[in-house]
Amino acid sequence: MVGDIDTAEDIVMDCFLMLAEQPERDERILSMKNYIYRMVRNACINHLGTKVSITDPQHIPDIPDDEDDSRERCEREARLWKEIDRLPRACRDIFLMHKRDGLCHRDIADRLGISIKTVEAHIGHAYAVLRGKAGIIYAFIFL
């Protein structure tokens, strides 16, 4: 992501040092692996943000002018949202709170006054329904 193995190693090491310096972990962290992945990813983005100015024209990637690709992407995204809208209300709301709003299972459960297992069941059901629809799976929504 940063284009240089030494820089990448430095970023990862810095993240692990920050973790080691934290005296206690937040109990809301359900998956340390995912937490570390996000931490390193955000550090890489921060690093790139300090190195490259977005207004510098030489760093703006060329966007292919392929209308068919763009139209197809829009159609797939519209199908995705249509399928999300068809989910049962509670399932849809919980799925969107998790994926769109970035809330962890515990926060959703606390907000709605339900168990974490119920939140997990609703999210699992949403995944199952969306995976069952041909061409509906999008990488960005499952990250």
Q: Using one digit for the tens of pLDDT, what is the confidence trace for 54-89?
A: 444 454 454 454 555 667 777 777 788 888 888 999
The pLDDT of residue 140 is 38
* Cβ count near 94 (within 10 Å): 27
More confident residue, 53 or 107: 107
pLDDT of residue 113: 96
User: Can you list the domains of the chain with their CATH numbers?
Assistant: 5-59 (no CATH), 67-142 (1.10.10)
Q: Summarize the confidence of residues 85-103 as an average pLDDT.
A: 90
pTM here?
A: 0.48
Q: Which of 18-22, 54-58, 93-97 has the lowest mean pLDDT?
A: 54-58
- pLDDT tens-digit readout, 100-135: 888 899 999 999 999 999 999 999 998 888 877 644
